[in-house]
């Protein structure tokens, strides 16, 4: 059995060492890091030059990651609940006792209601191949627990990319300077992937035009040639109007459509209703500006569209991604460096997880966006045991109040395995302390560039924290789920993964910390890489998807706003957290961004305390009145912890748990709210 004290490659050789590693957090960049350690303590976290894309500099968030490593919220020991659920009082116990208790509850749940009454809950955006989907997967699969559909992010864009192109690798950061036109669609690299900034600036310096589609005036929107400040959730109309423009004005690449695509006629028909005037009206933008964007797209080559995630987080998210990603096929933009589409390359390594030996059983599947529902309503079987790791759902998943009601259930046994005492961990029956990426190994995935790097421990594990593979290996062993020759912990799993990586990748990673490109150079779409569809053609239409979307493919579902709740609340990435990670650190007052017209209509002043509310919940915070957000839309940062507002409630408390049209994704930006001044107490 793996022991917590397992020896690992440590920083030795004098009181000050500089250790190279990489950042695995959920950010497309995957920076190489250089960490200074003095007397076994981290004193500085900085960028390293090993990764040419991240070029030696890092974000302010990770510079202060040591505040998480050594912070007051860090979990140091396993512990079991003493007080009420949510109160946060725990009693320290030994690992052995905690894991025995968990194993016992697993056995009991299986006996009473079957394995599916156990719900494992993880997203793992900030986790590489070593801290997710190996021994944890073995545990869930072999014990026969419920399955989890990981849909909180990228499900709609992923479904669209899969349907159209079979997830063909997309344009990487390095090729942006080749583009003559860049469209940033629902993406804000200034917060969410800062190493893309210099590549876009370089393209602009070389004369590229820039179009930004975003309800907010992001830093790039300020320097854009066209900024379409759309109403949240209307992108499908805007993209279809551009398609119509291409078709009607003879700019569609008919030869490419004939040779390389199926279904263009249906797309053409469905786009036809979206005249510039109609789309502009629905999206709340100027028809002239929309036409200018379409014309720029028609006439520029190489033209690159970056399909972000901001436009996917609503009822139309799947169709929005379909229409955006279909643009380069209709416009004939592939086949040149810098032309085509650019999005997450998180599946572009061509790595199938051969190290997971057991196939997924056919047990009940739970959509992770329905956690609250699962905990409060599911009966066949009920959720008796919830095991949360690599996620903080109280802060990050729709319908916060319902999730809290579920977590308060006395008959629910909740395990939270995390680095810090998160909003979710406060409700645990057992908390288990996890190592951070500075205390364990992982493979950091660059999904902007396509790279893999080895993240390695730079200090000893803090307290009694342990890496995921050790803990899941230990649980598997206790439950008798592993065969004699199978890996049981972090180091042997790492070696196994290295062995099973394809081609040169494993060898390169063994060599140490440096980004491993998976292609000879950065791939050009339709030259180096092609759709991974059965006949290598683009599937612009699919009957099956058409039947699965509530109103069909390339269709727009109207805005859910009502007279009582007329404002769209969005919650994009901020420069303070990665999702909710680092949200425990002190921060200035949280502010709701609101346009001056909306504030005036409500008699609100800058700095006022306000309540943001709908039928699901309410949030109290300060108001920031700014023309940087369009009228009708208000914004709170994503990933807030409950303590960071005035009433212990955050943006997700206002988010319905409805699902996107394709992919079953979260509709964070379909929150419709009203805002009023908060009467002072």
| Interacting residues with ligand MGD (CB under 6 A) | 26-27, 123, 125-127, 131, 152-153, 185-188, 191-193, 213-216, 218, 230, 232-233, 235, 308-311, 313-314, 389-393, 395-396, 417-420, 422, 434, 468, 570-573, 575, 577-581, 638-639, 651-652, 655, 668-669
CA 584 to chain centre: 19
Provide the token pair at 70. Answer: 């050594």
For Mo ion, how many residues bind (rule: CB under 5 A)? 1
For Mo ion, the nearest residue by Cβ is 153
If one asks whether residue 241 binds ligand SF4 (CB under 6 A), the answer comes out as no
Shortest distance (Å) from residue 262 CB to ligand MGD: 27
Q: What angle do CA 626, 655, 128 make, to 5 degrees?
A: 95
Q: Which does 300 bind (CB under 5 to 8 A by kind): ligand SF4, ligand MGD, Mo ion, none?
A: none
Considering only CA atoms, give the Rg of the chain. 25
If one asks whether residue 545 binds Mo ion (CB under 5 A), the answer comes out as no
If one asks whether residue 194 binds ligand SF4 (CB under 6 A), the answer comes out as yes
- The distance in angstroms from the start CA to the end CA of the chain is 57
Contact pick of 23, 171, 282, 420 for ligand SF4 (by CB under 6 A): 23
Provide the token pair at 212. Answer: 């930004």
If one asks whether residue 368 binds Mo ion (CB under 5 A), the answer comes out as no
Cα distances (angstroms) measured from residue 429 to each of 105, 295, 386: 11, 59, 10
Cα distances (angstroms) measured from residue 115 to each of 267, 307, 428: 44, 39, 20
- State the SS3 of 215-259: CECCHHHHCCCEEECCCCCCHHHHHHHHHHHHHHCCCCCHHHHHH
Rounded to 10 degrees, what is the CA torsion of 144, 146, 151, 153? -70
Q: Any bridge partners for residue 592, and if so which?
A: 623
Q: Which CB, 117 or 451, lies closer to ligand SF4?
A: 451
DSSP state of 529: B
If one asks whether residue 454 binds ligand SF4 (CB under 6 A), the answer comes out as no
Shortest distance (Å) from residue 388 CB to ligand MGD: 9
Q: Which does 58 bind (CB under 5 to 8 A by kind): ligand SF4, Mo ion, ligand MGD, none?
A: ligand SF4
For ligand MGD, the nearest residue by Cβ is 310
Q: Which does 30 bind (CB under 5 to 8 A by kind): ligand MGD, Mo ion, ligand SF4, none?
A: ligand SF4
**What is 411-447 written as a DSSP string?**
T-EEEEEESB--TTGGG-SEEEEB--TTSS-EEEEET
Q: Which CB, 57 or 77, lies closer to ligand SF4?
A: 57
If one asks whether residue 59 binds ligand SF4 (CB under 6 A), the answer comes out as yes
Shortest distance (Å) from residue 107 CB to ligand MGD: 22
Shortest distance (Å) from residue 265 CB to ligand MGD: 27
Q: Which CB, 108 or 492, lies closer to ligand MGD?
A: 492
Provide the token pair at 375. Answer: 């905990």
Binding piece for Mo ion, criterion CB under 5 A, among 17-25, 152-160, 172-180, 668-676: 152-160
Provide the token pair at 190. Answer: 């200034």
Q: Which does 668 bind (CB under 5 to 8 A by kind): ligand MGD, Mo ion, ligand SF4, none?
A: ligand MGD
If one asks whether residue 42 binds ligand SF4 (CB under 6 A), the answer comes out as no
Shortest distance (Å) from residue 578 CB to Mo ion: 9
For 108, the 3-state DSSP assignment is helix
* Listed residue (296, 387, 346) closest to 105, CA to CA: 387
β-pair type (365-367, 147-149): parallel
Q: Which CB, 80 or 197, lies closer to ligand SF4?
A: 197
Shortest distance (Å) from residue 26 CB to Mo ion: 6
Half-sphere exposure of 526 (CA within 13 A, CB side): 19
Q: Which CB, 153 or 164, lies closer to Mo ion?
A: 153
Shortest distance (Å) from residue 536 CB to ligand MGD: 28
If one asks whether residue 155 binds Mo ion (CB under 5 A), the answer comes out as no
CA 318 to chain centre: 15
If one asks whether residue 27 binds ligand SF4 (CB under 6 A), the answer comes out as yes
If one asks whether residue 540 binds ligand SF4 (CB under 6 A), the answer comes out as no
Q: Which CB, 423 or 608, lies closer to ligand MGD?
A: 423
If one asks whether residue 452 binds ligand SF4 (CB under 6 A), the answer comes out as no
Contact pick of 35, 148, 153, 438 for Mo ion (by CB under 5 A): 153
If one asks whether residue 30 binds ligand SF4 (CB under 6 A), the answer comes out as yes
43, 67 in Cβ contact below 8 A?
no
Binding piece for Mo ion, criterion CB under 5 A, among 100-108, 150-158, 360-368, 454-462: 150-158
Cα distances (angstroms) measured from residue 604 to each of 2, 84, 409, 594, 621: 59, 39, 39, 10, 13
- Compute the Cα dihedral for 517, 518, 519, 523 and give only its sign: negative
Q: What angle do CA 26, 32, 35 make, to 5 degrees?
A: 105
Half-sphere exposure of 75 (CA within 13 A, CB side): 33
Shortest distance (Å) from residue 573 CB to ligand SF4: 10
Q: Which does 639 bind (CB under 5 to 8 A by kind): ligand SF4, ligand MGD, Mo ion, none?
A: ligand MGD
Q: Which CB, 27 or 545, lies closer to ligand MGD?
A: 27
Cα distances (angstroms) measured from residue 235 to each of 349, 444, 634: 29, 32, 17
Q: Which does 32 bind (CB under 5 to 8 A by kind): Mo ion, ligand MGD, ligand SF4, none?
A: none
Shortest distance (Å) from residue 25 CB to ligand MGD: 8
- The strand ranges marked E within 163-225 are 181-185, 209-213
If one asks whether residue 618 binds ligand SF4 (CB under 6 A), the answer comes out as no
Shortest distance (Å) from residue 191 CB to Mo ion: 12
Q: How many CB atoms lie within 10 A of CB 41?
A: 14
If one asks whether residue 388 binds Mo ion (CB under 5 A), the answer comes out as no
Q: Which does 514 bind (CB under 5 to 8 A by kind): ligand SF4, ligand MGD, Mo ion, none?
A: none
Shortest distance (Å) from residue 579 CB to ligand SF4: 11
If one asks whether residue 578 binds ligand SF4 (CB under 6 A), the answer comes out as yes
Cα distances (angstroms) measured from residue 447 to each of 245, 343, 571: 32, 8, 22
Q: Which does 581 bind (CB under 5 to 8 A by kind): ligand MGD, Mo ion, ligand SF4, none?
A: ligand MGD
* Listed residue (618, 457, 411) closest to 10, CA to CA: 457
d(CA 571, CA 239): 22
Binding site for ligand SF4 (CB under 6 A): 23, 25, 27, 29-31, 54, 58-59, 61-62, 194, 578
Q: Which chain residues interact with Mo ion by CB under 5 A?
A: 153
């Amino acid at each position: 059995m793996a022991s917590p004290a397992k020896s690992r490659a440590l920083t030795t050789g004098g009181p000050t060492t500089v250790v190279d590693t990489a950042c695995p957090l959920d950010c497309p960049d995957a920076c190489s890091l250089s960490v200074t350690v003095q007397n076994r303590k981290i004193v500085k976290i900085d960028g390293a030059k090993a990764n040419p894309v991240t070029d030696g500099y890092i974000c302010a968030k990770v510079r202060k990651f040591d505040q998480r490593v050594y912070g007051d919220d860090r979990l140091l020991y396993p512990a079991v609940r003493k007080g009420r659920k949510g109160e946060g009082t725990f009693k320290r116990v030994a690992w052995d006792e905690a894991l025995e208790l968990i194993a016992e509850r697993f056995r009991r749940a299986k006996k009473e209601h079957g394995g599916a009454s156990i719900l494992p809950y993880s997203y793992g955006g900030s986790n590489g191949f070593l801290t997710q989907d190996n021994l944890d997967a073995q545990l869930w699969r072999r014990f026969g627990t419920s399955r989890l559909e990981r849909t909180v992010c990228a499900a709609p864009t992923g479904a669209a990319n899969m349907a159209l192109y079979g997830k063909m690798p997309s344009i990487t950061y390095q090729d942006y300077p080749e583009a003559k036109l860049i469209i940033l669609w629902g993406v804000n690299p200034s917060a969410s992937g800062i190493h893309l900034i210099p590549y876009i600036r370089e393209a602009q310096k070389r004369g590229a035009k820039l179009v930004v589609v975003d309800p907010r005036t992001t830093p790039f929107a300020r320097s854009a040639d066209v900024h379409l400040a759309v109403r949240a959730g209307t992108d499908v109309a805007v993209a279809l109007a551009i398609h119509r423009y291409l078709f009607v004005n003879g700019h569609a690449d008919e030869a490419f459509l004939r040779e390389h695509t199926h279904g263009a006629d249906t797309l053409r028909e469905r786009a036809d209703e979206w005249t510039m005037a109609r789309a502009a009206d629905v999206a709340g933008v100027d028809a002239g500006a929309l036409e200018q964007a379409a014309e720029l797209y028609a006439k520029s080559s190489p033209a690159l569209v970056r399909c972000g995630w901001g436009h996917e987080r609503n009822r139309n998210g799947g169709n929005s991604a379909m229409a955006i990603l279909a643009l380069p096929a209709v416009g004939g933009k592939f086949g040149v460096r810098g032309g085509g589409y650019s999005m997450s390359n998180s599946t572009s390594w061509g790595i199938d997880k051969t190290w997971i030996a057991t196939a997924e059983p056919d047990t009940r599947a739970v959509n992770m966006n329905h956690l609250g529902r699962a905990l409060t309503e599911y009966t066949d079987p009920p959720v008796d045991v919830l095991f949360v790791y690599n996620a903080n759902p109280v802060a990050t998943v729709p319908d916060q109040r319902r999730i809290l009601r579920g977590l308060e259930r006395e008959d629910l046994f909740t395990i939270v395995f995390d680095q810090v005492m998160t909003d979710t961990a406060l409700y645990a029956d057992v908390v288990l302390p996890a190592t951070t990426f500075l205390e364990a190994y992982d493979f950091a995935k660059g999904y902007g560039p396509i790279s893999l790097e080895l993240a390695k421990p730079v200090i000893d594990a803090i307290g009694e924290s342990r890496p995921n593979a050790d803990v899941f290996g230990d649980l598997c062993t206790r439950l008798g789920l592993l065969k004699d020759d199978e890996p049981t912990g972090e180091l042997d799993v790492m070696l196994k993964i290295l062995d099973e990586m394809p081609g040169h990748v494993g060898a390169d990673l063994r060599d140490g910390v440096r980004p491993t490109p998976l292609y000879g150079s950065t791939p050009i779409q339709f030259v180096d890489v092609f759709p991974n569809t059965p006949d290598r053609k683009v599937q612009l239409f699919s009957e099956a998807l058409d039947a699965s979307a509530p109103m069909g493919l390339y269709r727009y579902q109207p805005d859910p706003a009502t007279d009582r709740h007329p404002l769209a609340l969005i919650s994009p990435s901020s420069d303070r957290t990665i999702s909710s990670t680092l949200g425990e650190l002190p921060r200035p007052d949280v502010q709701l961004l609101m346009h001056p017209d909306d504030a005036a209509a409500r008699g609100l002043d800058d700095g006022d305390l306000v309540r943001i509310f709908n039928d699901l919940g309410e949030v109290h915070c300060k108001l920031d009145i700014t023309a940087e957000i369009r009228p009708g839309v208000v914004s709170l940062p994503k990933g807030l912890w409950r303590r960071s507002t005035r009433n212990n409630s955050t943006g997700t408390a206002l988010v319905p748990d409805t699902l996107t049209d394709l992919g079953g994704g979260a509709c964070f930006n379909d929150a419709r709210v009203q805002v009023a001044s908060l009467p002072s107490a």
